Structure formats: C-alpha cells, structure tokens
Structure 1
Amino acid sequence: MTTKPEPESHLETYYAGAYWGPRKESPDECARRGVSFLNLVAACDPLLAHWNKIPKPRGRGRKTPLMPPDLATLTEAFGRGVNREPGGPGIEDLGLTVEAYNDGSGQDFAHLRMHVGSYAEGMSNACVLSLPSKGEGAERILTAPVLTEVVRGMVLAWEPDWAVAMSESHRDMDEKADSVDAWTGWVTYLARHRGTVPPLPAPVRIERVEDRGTLIILSPERFTVSDSEHVALAARVRELLYRAGLLKLLRSRP
C-alpha cells in the first residue's frame, strides 16, 4: 500500500513598508532620506547592508552599488526615477522611484522600492522592503527585535504616517476584513498625529519613536497566520486601535 506524500507547508513571506500621503520633495531631499534609511537598515543585518540600484528601464545598464550610500549617486538615481509616459516628459507630481536589490541570491534575496516625492492629489508615497523568508538570513531577520529596528529606521528616515512589518498572508486576511487606512501587523507604527495608543493586551509591547509616534509589537515570537492565537490577537488589537480613533474606515461597516 502506498501513501500520498505530505503536502509542503505554505511558506509565509514577509515585508516591511512605510506609507504617507502627498509630500513634495526634490531628488536631493529624497536622496538625503534614502541615505539615512540605507544606513539605518544596514545596521539591522548583513543581508540588508549591500544594495545595488535596479536600472531604469529595468534590466538595462550597469550594476550600480548604493553602499556605502552616496548622496550624489542617490540624487541622480531619484532624478532619473521620475515617472513618465514612454518617450514623454517627466510627470513630477507623480513622484520619483528608485528600486534596489541586495547582494543575496536565492533565499537570501531582498528587494527595496522607494516611491517618494509624490504630491498629486490622492497619491501616496511608500518605501517597501521585501524580505527573505527562509534560510539563515530569514532566521536572523524575521524576529521581533530586528523587524522593530527595520521599521524604526523607516520611521526615522521617511517620517511616514504609518508603517508595518507583516506577512503577506496576514495582509491578505486584513484586506478581507473591514477596510481601514492602515494595516496592523507583527510590528506596526502609527504617527503621533493619529492619536494616543490605548492600553493593549499582553504580550503586546509598545515603544515610542522619539516624538514621532508609537511602535506596536504584537508578539515576541514570529507572527504566523497558522497560529490562531496570533490572528486573534491581531484582530483584537486592530479593533482597539479602531475604537481609539487611530484607524479610520475607508468604507462603512454593514
């Protein structure tokens, strides 16, 4: 009698992202923030300390190392990263985009996208870091202390409205719930202007980021959607933040 092989468990993938509304900034201003962010994230783990610019158009041009971060190099990169129609002039109010990859390959690969300087009505800005999800690098990075520092670096460099480090599976679950204007993940940051973070249930930890806002760390161990207690805790915290006015509905509850 033969038995069917056990199906492979779903690999949960993780990322960190910082988000904010329209903010007009020049290539030089964006580059200064970019230099700060690259230095801060480099201190979090060796896999996040080596970055190369992705050429634009993608796949063309020489490899351009971004570390150690050089202001002139990043200023030029953001200047070339203006959004435009093919062959047309730059559309400045749609912002500037620079993408980069680390020196890792395979399971150690990480990707960074900085879309900043957008000031068109209704547009947003973001710095999004896709992280390794398996292997030794992932074991080091996917911990509460390291992800807290990654998000803290995003906050200090970009001054976002909110930021998060979470699994993509958890984000997909969050999107299916009531639509609010910020995701709540394993590590969440909310800017001070959004309000005061209320008392939250254990084991949630709260940390201040200077005078800018608050970090909320849901769990000291790796957050996974396969753990029903993790999912329930996240939902509870999300509800408490909503009731305290820190999250706003994007559509009415039924």
Structure 2
Amino acid sequence: MNASSSIETYYAGAYWRLRKESPEECGRRAEAFFQALSPIDPYFSRWFKLGRSRKEALKSRIETRQADLEKMFRRGKDKLFEELGFRISGWNGEGDDDEACGFYITCGGYAEEVGNVCVFDLPNTGPNAERVLTAPVLTGLVRAMAMAWDPDDAVAMSHKHRDLIPKPHPDALVGWVTYLARRRGTVPPLPAPVRIERVEDKGSLIILTPERFTASNPEHIALAERVRELLDRAGLLGPVRS
C-alpha cells in the first residue's frame, strides 16, 4: 500500500524460527488467530484472497476455519524446498489501498536462512486508521499473534521508526507495542509511561505510550531508545538460544 510520504505508516509483525509444522498445525494456529482478531475490531472480521483486480479479489472470501486455512497452506507450499514451509496471504477489502489491511503468513519453516512470520500492513488514513492505530487495538492484535503463533517476538510500529533504528537491527525490534517470549528472558522494570502486560505463560507485552507513538516526536524516540537499552542490557533482544 502506498501512502503520501507525509503520512507515518504502521505495520505489525510476529517472528519465529525453525519450527517444523504440518499444514494441519498451521491451519489450527491460523484459525485461532483469526478467531481472536474479530472481537478486537470489526476491521479484522473478514478477509479475501488476493486477485488480479479488486473486483476479482472481493469475490474470493477466505473462510477462517481450520480445514479451509489448511487447504490454503497446502497450496502455498514451496514446490522445491519443503523446509521453507507454507505461505498464505490476503487482505480485508476495506476502502482504498491506504484504508485496507493486508497480511502475509509463513508457517512451518525450518530452514536456518529464513524465518516464519505473520505480518500485517495496517491502514494509513481514514476512520479505520484512527480507530485501529491506537494502543488498545494494536495491543490486542499483538497479543493475538503471541497467543496463536507463539513467536519469539512481535512488534507493532511505524516504518519510519524502524528506519531510524541503526543497522544491523537487533534480532528483536522495540516498537510502540512489543512482545517478547518468555524464552528470551525476564523483562526488567521499565520507566513510565511504559506498561508491561503478561501474555499468560508465554511472554510479555510492552506498550511504550498510551497515545499514538510517532517517530516525529523526540520524546517518543528517546523513550524507545531508553527501553531498547534496558532490554538489550538484560539480554532480551539477541538471537533466541535453542
């Protein structure tokens, strides 16, 4: 989705490595994920397959039951390299390109060179963006990712903020809403207004600000950098140990 350069665009992504899973297991996780999305906001309640045109795509509704999602994963299998896992993608058909949400999921991969992901491109403009780009909705989205996919880490942040982080990027990025699996370690105390929430026995959510986090706000960037330093010092942002 392309937006004006003056608009700060956002995404959410969950990341995990080396987990060999079958299409059935991927379908089960995807069903749990999509079922958890609907109560967060109506914007996440319907999905369509990608098509050659908008009209064509809107005729291809994605049924979010395990059996149907399993079929999609099977069709998305890499034909040459089984270790690359299974892929599905789609969008929600809302408004124009800047108002819609697209997703891309890779599951079941176990190659060292690649990872498994669940990434959402979020709306940029309009009433959907005003409603979705809030701490409660993004916290719910990242929590749903954590519960369904059991990733090593997940984040909701702006592309502009990500671009400000010096490269090479750490294994786990710190954004507006960050999830770190318990296997990464214990989250230390963090400065106000940061809020930490447990995700059952899986890990922790870290919400930097209750208002919209923007890369144009120096206070927001300074807070993110302080939190990154504390998490890095605690050993939480590097590669996950086997």
What are the residue-to-residue correspondences of 1:164-179 with 2, within 5 Å? 164-174=155-165, 176-177=166-167, 179=169
Matched, 1:78 2:69: no
Q: Percent identity?
A: 54
Q: d(CA) in 1 for partners of 2:75 and 2:213?
A: 38
1:228 to 205, 218, 223: 218
Deviation string 1:197-229 (CA, Å, 9 cap, x unpaired) is 111110000000000000000000000011000
Residue of structure 2 in register with 1:248 after alignment: 238
Residue of structure 2 in register with 1:149 after alignment: 140
Q: Report the CA distance shift for 1:26/1:145 in structure 2 as closer, same or farther (over 3 A).
A: same
For structure 1, which runs of at least 5 residues remain unmatched after alignment? Answer: 1-7, 85-89, 250-254
Residue of structure 2 in register with 1:21 after alignment: 17
**AA paired with 1:132?**
P
SS in 2 for 1:119: coil
Residue of structure 1 in register with 2:186 after alignment: 196
When normalised by structure 1's length, the TM-score is 0.87
Could you list the structure 1 runs, at least 4 aligned residues long, displaced by more than 6 angstroms after superposition.
Answer: none
Q: Report the CA distance shift for 1:132/1:195 in structure 2 as closer, same or farther (over 3 A).
A: same
SS in 1 for 2:114: coil
**AA paired with 1:53?**
K
What are the residue-to-residue correspondences of 1:129-148 with 2, within 5 Å? 129-148=120-139
User: Shift in Å at residue 54 of structure 1?
Assistant: 2.4
SS in 1 for 2:183: helix
Q: d(CA) in 2 for partners of 1:20 and 1:127?
A: 9
Residue of structure 2 in register with 1:239 after alignment: 229
Q: d(CA) in 1 for partners of 2:65 and 2:32?
A: 10
Q: d(CA) in 2 for partners of 1:83 and 1:109?
A: 27
CA contact (8 A) 1:15 1:130 kept: yes
Give the RMSD, CA atoms, in angstroms: 1.9
For structure 2, which runs of at least 5 residues remain unmatched after alignment? Answer: none
Q: d(CA) in 2 for partners of 1:182 and 1:24?
A: 21
CA contact (8 A) 1:54 1:98 kept: no
Matched, 1:46 2:42: yes
Residue of structure 1 in register with 2:60 after alignment: 64
Q: d(CA) in 1 for partners of 2:93 and 2:172?
A: 31
**AA paired with 1:39?**
Q
When normalised by structure 2's length, the TM-score is 0.91
Q: d(CA) in 2 for partners of 1:94 and 1:173?
A: 30
Matched, 1:10 2:30: no
2:114 to 123, 127, 131: 123
Q: d(CA) in 1 for partners of 2:110 and 2:18?
A: 4
Residue of structure 2 in register with 1:5 after alignment: none
Deviation string 1:61-88 (CA, Å, 9 cap, x unpaired) is 8743124x1222111100000123xxxx
Aligned residues: 233
SS in 1 for 2:140: helix
User: Shift in Å at residue 48 of structure 1?
Assistant: 1.1
Deviation string 1:208-251 (CA, Å, 9 cap, x unpaired) is 000000000000000001100000000000000001111128xx
Residue of structure 2 in register with 1:3 after alignment: none
Residue of structure 1 in register with 2:30 after alignment: 34
SS in 1 for 2:48: strand
User: Shift in Å at residue 177 of structure 1?
Assistant: 4.8
